[in-house]
Amino acid sequence: MACIAVGIIRGMKDEAVFAEYRAVASEALAKHGGSIVVPPSPPTVLDGEDTPAAVVVLEFPDTASAEAWRNDPELASIHEMRNNGVHMDILAVGS
């Protein structure tokens, strides 16, 4: 079963830095078998009160691949770039 990772973007810190991140994000994801299913998009809230600025949906072959992507020391500067560009929580579900 695939692992789906949902990035909940709470707010923008630096649009230029986030644009730089988006330019390299797909390649960094692909290193561990990941891909962008839905690019950062404003959500439609169907139920509840949470209203994030945007949501991004990623897919990995499994949770181990998602964790390898997040913990890869060669990608540390890319993750730092993302974190400097936006306030984002990333949650993984699946196996």
- Second-level CATH architecture of 3-94: 2-Layer Sandwich (3.30)
Q: Using CA atoms, how far apart are residues 72 and 81, in angstroms rounded to an integer?
A: 14
* Domain map (residue ranges) of the chain: 3-94
**pTM for this model (two decimals):** 0.91
Q: Which two tokens stand for residue 67?
A: 């964790």
- Give pLDDT tens digits for 19-54: 999 999 999 999 999 999 999 999 999 999 888 999
Q: Which residues does 40 contact at the CB level (< 8 Å), separation at least 6? A: 7, 9, 22, 54, 55, 56
pLDDT for 1 beyond 80:
no
Q: Using CA atoms, how far apart are residues 49 and 29, in angstroms rounded to an integer?
A: 30
Q: For the chain, what is the mean pLDDT?
A: 96
